[in-house]
Structure 1
Amino acid sequence: MKLEDARALDAGDPLGRFRDAFVLPEDIIYLDGNSLGALPRATIAAQRDAVERQWGTDLITSWNANDWIGAPERIGAKIAQLIGAKPQEVIVTDSVSVNLFKLIVAASRYQEDRAQILTEPGNFPTDLYTAGGAADMLPEQVVHTEQAGDIADALGPDTALLMLTHVHYKTGARHEVATLTEAAHKAGALTLWDLSHSVGAIPVDLNGCDADLAVGCGYKYLNGGPGAPAFLFVREDLQEQLVSPLSGWMGHAAPFEFRDDYAPAPGIRRFLCGTPPVLSLLALETGVDLFLETDIEALAAKSAALFELFAERIDERCYGQGLTLITPTEPEHRGSHISYTHPSGWPIMQALIERGVIGDFRAPDILRFGLTSLYTSYADIWRATEILGEILDSGLWREPRFAEAKTVT
């Protein structure tokens, strides 16, 4: 494919109009929206209003007048539309790590006659770390890992919770939610899905899969801004049976009665904890609102097309240069990023970034590129792969400055 062909695809792209909804520097090709989403232009005005009018003028009355108090449920109901859930099953609160802890402990206590949290090696580190920390606090609870192909067979009478990330953060490989949830239920276990690399990128149908619990990130594909609040999902019939171990005042049934004793709120609100970060919530809301104007199937179809173009271009332009594709080629088996290994992945990525192509690196040797359908263009993919080819051809990445370590990769 030639550059003019990529531009022709952009001209006919039904999602192309959304590109102008984001702040995208002209000299940058941004392929890291799977790690930090771009800034929606609407967020700038919304944050100005939140700071200058709501906080600056309305002050504390904004909890009622501007419905700050309802933001976690309001935004959760919007995210529910993106993950196949009921509005009353999703709430925005805390971080993915904190929400994982809440749901792991709540589910383990509910399944108190079972001692195993089942997951896989290589799961996102915070999932593994949080599960280990929670297990250390629970009598006789253990974390057990199995390779992806062996997970269903590892489910048994001792499994309390199956905890998996829907789309793997390195490879982009996708688990089958329906199949594994059914297997877990047959074994008497609950399921907890991390949707951080799924929501806003590919179709998710939690209710259709009979999923029990889920968490997800607000700052990747949802474009909520750095450190945006996360969300959690609890199937409606489980909500009254699970109790969060973090019994903060916002999760109380009557927080403004200021009682000494704790009584969990009804429904999904019981999984709130402390005072919501209002400015971050409102930033996330503008990002989520963009998705309510789109169709997730259209987003997934474009993601698949961007992937095919990227892979085709690498095969043509970078053949024999040591890049190995590790992301599944079938769209139904992957998320919305494409990953390659290379023995010198770190310096190659640093050279790319200097040339204006921003992806990211994951140890030990993975170059990862996000395909964010709302604002990534076909021309972006063509130019990025061309620049990568030039870097590999010239050996630019071998210059010592590109080997220097950085704190964030």
Structure 2
Amino acid sequence: MEEEAKGRRGEVANHYVQVVRDNPLLEEVGAGCVPKRKATDERTRQPTQQGGEKGQPSPCSVMDVLRMSPGIQINRANRKSWERSPSAADEDMEEEPTTPTEETTSWNAYATPSGSQTNECPQTPQRSRRTPMRTGSLSDTKILATTAVKLARQDSSVFPEAFRFDDHFHYVGIVGKSQTSEVYAAMHKEDGTLYAVKKSLHEFKGYADRKRWLREVECVERLPAHPHIVTYYRGWQQDMRFYIQMEYCQGGSLRNVLDHLQGSMLLEEDIWTVGYQVASGLAFIHDNGVLHLDIKPDNIFISAEGTYKIGDFGIAINNASEDWEEGDGAYLAPELLNDSAEPTTAADMYSLGAMLYECATGDPLPRSCLEREKVTTKVQLPGRSEALSGLLQYLLASAPQDRPTASELIEVINQLYHQG
């Protein structure tokens, strides 16, 4: 059965490769539309010949943007501050930072153009005496979900179910914020590992509200670790708010990279890499019955090594029979605008195509249906290879059945680019 499935994927991949090469909308066909790897300097991963076509911005790699971003330096400085001896730390601060409260900050503080970040940590409200509370109470402090990815034991020494942020983590800084939540970089007190901890900004309105927050962890709780998926570890409630402990991606998000290009173009090599690695993550979750439904640059995170990972499963669902929410309209598949539509894996593939279009052009797809149709009917990417234009043509197909699956896309990229 597995061999048959592999054979089918190969046949479909060959079909898409041939379709891309024979696309009548392309100015060049055949081998001439296959992108070739650029010669690079191994130390810097920079093209040996810089500069784009006449009238086009110079290309810029993702790793260059990360090097120019102050984020990694800031986080390293924070880490060093916690690695000092206890006596030295005590001399520099009267009280150890604890969980921040309702302080406001810019989105991704470590990736803002100025790179500014406060060293002062807002204090958590004074804790009341810990006593066991009635089962199921929204005001309990307790773990609600743990995932298949195991951690070293990090339970409370007083009440194992009463897992609290301040018992296990040093607060390092706020690295992300939305209207409903904020994300901290937090260092584990025992082994110094950095984690991302997401906290809901508002208290639970009821059990349904808590269930909505819990769904993000439940969608991925049975999944093993995957190199292109942000790893989730546990979710707990504390002070009537929901917390999620996740893998910390030091490179920030793909959105940070695009915002820091400052008029430069992203190297095409990086665009193919983003497509390949995100497709790998999508193939994994799709095979496990999970739809993400919000693929966009803001939800693609980058490790310190430059690996791309799908994160933020806030509106993901385990199957199409669940209630579902629309993702960002700039990346939303057209069929989901129909009131009677049910999402499928093809919706995630369209969102991936919309994201890659933004990576290639620097601009998102138009939100107007008519304007978007004009763009997607004949995808044109000035300064890019014809193969990339052809690939996006099919990812952005208006009919869901005309789009490649994530597994098929991996095969196509392997043939068009990695073997080209």
Q: Specify if TM > 0.5.
A: no
Flag the structure with larger Rg. Answer: 2
TM-score computed with the length of structure 2 as normaliser? 0.24
**More relative contact order, 1 or 2 (CA 8 Å, 6+ apart):** 1
TM-score computed with the length of structure 1 as normaliser? 0.25
More helix by share: 1
